[in-house]
Chain A
Amino acid sequence: MSTTTTAAPAAGLDRLVRRFRELLPEDSVITDPQRLRTYECDGLASYRVVPAVVVLPERTEQIREIVAACAEQEIPFVARGSGTGLSGGALPHAEGVLIVTSKLRRILEVDVANERAVVEPGVINLDVTGAAAPHGYYFAPDPSSQQVCSVGGNVAENSGGAHCLKYGFTTHHILGLEVVTPDGDVVELGGSAREAPGYDLLGTFVGSEGTLGVVTKITVRLLRKPEAVQTLLAGFPSTDDAGAAVSAIIGDGVTPAAVEMMDALSIEAAEQAVACGYPEGAGAVLVVELDGPEAEVEHTFDEVQRHCRAHGAFEIRVAADAHERAMIWKGRKSAFAAVGRISPDYIVQDGVIPRTALSEVLGDIARLSAESGVRVANVFHAGDGNLHPLVLFDGSEEGAEERAEEVSGKIVELCIEHGGSITGEHGVGADKVKYMGRMFTTDDLDTMQLVRCAYDPVGICNPGKVFPTPRLCGEVPGKRRGVHPLTEAGLADQF
């Protein structure tokens, strides 16, 4: 991918660092090896690369200068927000620059009349809601890491969260972006009024995992707080029972704001971490939240409880106030990190299957676990089939990590086999690159990279992420001879 020799990077980097020191205060340009190492990984600590230099701009204009300087030297750069990503999207490049946006955390504008806010990329997700709350509004995307993850990171990954069942993902809540393109230009995508003519460059940028440029300002959509919210926690004998309840609820035409499921092992972990007091002896719990106009919510909430009981719920707790609601959610939201209490090490997986295949796939996972001896705790967005299997292991045991990786990989395969996705929320990053070829054909990946070539022909913007084989951007697309292999196999019009 990189066209530079071993000698050139050093010289180019030196020039770059000198340029950075002209641009930024001393403490904001990091070259000290010990300090650099603290940035070598994001939330996925198994992938580590020490960057050549880390810069921490304090004004958004500085990002443009930083990128322009990198472009001039053709030196790769990677952007990082809070470093909580779970796919290694912010994994640095060893001969490149890591641009950290954590100092860019001002909320520039809260425009209630137009139901939007403008924020810098380092602003923490939950703080957007904090700023909007006094006006009766909130920012809908709610990843479990929302107290710490950055909105810039949310844009890069198209983050979801528990409430995306009803409210969609980050891409549904972005109205505009100011972006520095990899050649150092600043463009405004979207931002003025809805449904503007032209290609939807804004929508294409969200979820591009930092490969098309660096975001410097984000215009987010704010939603009116719902009139009523009702949350319940239900204990079931098994995940099958809970899954059947979910099917019944959805089949009844109800769209809950969120439906989350945890299995026995993950409940145990959460209990140890935050003492959430979930129903004892539950094989699975469901957290179901409904929101909207009061009359609607009241009506549907009764139906939801009925469905839960009809499918074996032995205990149902309804949150009486905001505090109790927070307590119900606490267990679910801390589940990932809490698993660290019942196992020295673990892998967080992220895959999607059609919701109707939930029971079958959970059964497959249980079988995988039993056969391999590797424990798997399951936490997931039951409403949309987004699984988060937590594959547990003890790194000090011989071969344990390999076995866990294997099980983790097989789960991803399961998702592909069932026509799902290799990632529902965490992104491809560095971690899932190896599976892209299983989910998409070479032509599909090639087509996506046409966009990448349009933005970053030189290949310096977060290189090595998302795509297994980088496309040479000077290439003219080959004229295809013969019929597409899928069509030839008689599978025309299928994915």
Chain B
Amino acid sequence: MTTISTAHEALQSTVGEARVRPGDAGDEVCGVRPSWVVSPADTAEVSAVLRATAEHGLTVVPTGSGSRLDWGAAPRSLDVLLDVSRLRGVVEHAAGDLVVVARAGTPLAEVRREVAKADQQLAIDQPLPTSTVGGLVATGCSGPGRHFFGGVRDLLIGITVVRADGTVTTSGGKVVKNVAGYDLGRLYTGSHGTLGVITEVVFRLHPLAAEHRWISTTCDSPRRAAEVVAELRHCQQMPTAIELDRPRPDGPIEVCAELEGRPKATHDRAERLAAQVGGGVRDTAPSWWGGYPFDTADSGLRLGVQPAELGDLLEFAERAAQDAGVPLALRGAAGLGVLEAGIPGDCPVPAFTSLLEALRGRAAYAVLLRGDADARAAVDPWGAQPPGVQALMNRVKDQFDPEHRLAPGRFVGGI
């Protein structure tokens, strides 16, 4: 029988007294306060901590900078908030091979700065400035550039994870071309801490382009915006990103595409493309570029449709928002058919719920990324999965974390 004091002692024995402290209000995860906050310094300590939690049946939620800790559902139980932000630093930057190895708690910004020294980029944009690379993998979030470069999962080539029982395990490697074994990196990406604790990641890099340009055009209707987006998608200029912004549900829609490449050549491409869609060329991104249409006081959604259905979605969202009387803001990867939406935090729950349900019925999915307690209580944040898929996900979870101690209840289908 585990007592609180023995558990506490066990935790302290792994990382030392100083790095185990009681959780406070600021440590809450979706309104649930952890009993302890534990801060290991390296993979070995993470492993020791998890072993201790396994021995004492403790539930764990990992965190980096905590920038997306308020995403997802509230945990059913939370004993240990495992803070890996001390696992920090670029371990290796093999510039000749365009590969970087970094500890999970390293802020993305730090990694980008490091590789920029060799004129390279880790092609992940980040709306939330403190985000760590481990957190980005766990939440699978990238920005506008994923249209061309792929998302986090497409850039991840190797990963070290500590399993619920403390086992340290690696998958992938340090070379881009690698099909040895299963691609577990993809499984971990977007798993929100429910399969293990990420301690180290390996990414492939790209050359840093010399010149960037943005083409921007303002459309007064969803139809027009969808037409422009389709043109941009089908053109041969290989845009890095295609985004749109519609801060007011019935307001104008700004469609903006980014091009990058060689100096002068990129500007020429941008001019041609701008002429084609009837827009202008900018040498800086618009102010809204790469940010979410919601902040920590708002509810944030993610909606997904097949790219060709963008126009329908925009029209529908406009009407649904007006019907519900909700000032819905939309912004995101129009080229991929994935948009984020923001609803003010003071929106009455019934209106919010009806709007979300309506969107969920229309889009392929509508996820409540973050919201306050009332919002989370009113809806299933993730939405239902087809039964066969949910069953498979449950079985995967059961294998990785049979006791369901990692972020229990935070994920899809109550995983």
Direct contact between the two chains A and B in their complex (CB within 8 A): yes
Chain A contact residues, CB within 8 Å of chain B: 111, 113-115, 136, 157-158, 160, 164, 168-169, 171-172, 181, 185-189, 192-201, 203-204, 206-208, 224-227, 247, 250-251, 253-255, 292-293, 295-296, 298-300, 352-356, 381, 384-386, 419-428, 432, 436, 439-441, 443-448, 450-455, 466, 476-480, 483-484, 486-487, 492-495
| CB-based contact A355/B97 at 8 Å | yes
- Closest-CB distance, A88 to chain B (whole angstroms): 14
| B51 at the binding interface (Cβ < 8 Å) | yes
Known: A195-B151, A448-B171. 13 other contacts (CB 8 A): A193-B337, A198-B411, A200-B187, A201-B389, A293-B269, A296-B262, A427-B179, A432-B180, A444-B171, A447-B400, A454-B392, A480-B166, A495-B158
Q: B343 to nearest A CB, angstroms?
A: 18
Q: Mark each residue of chain B from 43 to 58: 1 if its CB lies under 8 Å from any CB of chain A, else 0.
A: 1100110010011000
Question: Which 7 A-B pairs have CB atoms at the shortest separation, nearest pair first?
Answer: A203-B186, A253-B207, A193-B304, A193-B364, A424-B177, A113-B308, A227-B236
B167 CB within 8 Å of chain A: yes
Given A225-B236, A226-B236, A385-B97, also A201-B179 (CB < 8 A): no
User: Do the beta carbons of B199 and A440 come within 8 Å of each other?
Assistant: no
Q: Using an 8 Å CB-CB cutoff, how does the interface string of B303-344 with A read, 1 for contact, 0 for none?
A: 011111000000000000000000000000000111000000
Q: Looking across the interface, which residue of chain A has its beta carbon closest to that of B394?
A: A454
Please give, as numbers and ranges, the residues of chain B lying within 8 Å of A172 by CB-CB distance: 150, 154
Of the candidates A207, A381, A436, the one having the most CB atoms from chain B within 10 angstroms of its own CB is A207
Q: A445 to B182, alpha carbons, bound, how many Å?
A: 9
Does B269 contact A295, Cβ atoms closer than 8 Å? yes
B307 — which chain A residues lie within 8 A by C-beta?
113-115
Contact B176 A114 (CB under 8 A): no
Complex: A421 Cα to B178 Cα, angstroms: 6
In contact, A451 and B365 (Cβ under 8 angstroms): no
What B residues does A428 contact at CB under 8 A? 179-181
Contacting chain A: which of B128-136, B288-296, B351-359, B378-386? Answer: B378-386
With both chains docked as a complex, state the minimum distance between the C-beta of A23 and any C-beta of chain B, in angstroms: 22
Q: Which residues of B contact A204 (CB under 8 A)?
A: 182-184, 186-187
> Is the pair A226, B238 in contact by a Cβ cutoff of 8 Å?
yes
Task: Please tell me the number of chain B residues within 8 Å of chain A, measured between CB atoms.
Answer: 101
Main secondary structure of the interface of A (DSSP, over half): loop
Please judge, given known A-B contacts A168-B150, A201-B389, whether A353 and B175 are in contact too, CB under 8 Å. Answer: yes
Q: Are A201 and B393 in contact (CB under 8 A)?
A: yes
Provide 18 A-B residue pairs closer than 8 Å at the C-beta atoms, listed in order of the A residue. Answer: A186-B388, A187-B388, A188-B388, A192-B304, A193-B337, A194-B337, A204-B187, A224-B234, A225-B236, A247-B96, A293-B236, A293-B238, A354-B97, A421-B177, A446-B169, A484-B168, A487-B44, A495-B173
Chain B residues within an 8 Å CB radius of A195: 140, 151, 302, 304, 336, 338
Which among A206, A250, A447, A477 is the interface contact of B402 at CB below 8 angstroms? A477
Cα distance A244–B169 in the bound complex, in angstroms: 36
Q: Is the CB of B265 within 8 A of A299?
A: yes
Give complex CA distance A212, B151 in Å: 24
**CB contact list, B232-289 vs A, under 8 A:** 233-238, 261-262, 265-266, 268-269
A197 in contact with B382 given A422-B180, A448-B182 (CB within 8 Å): yes
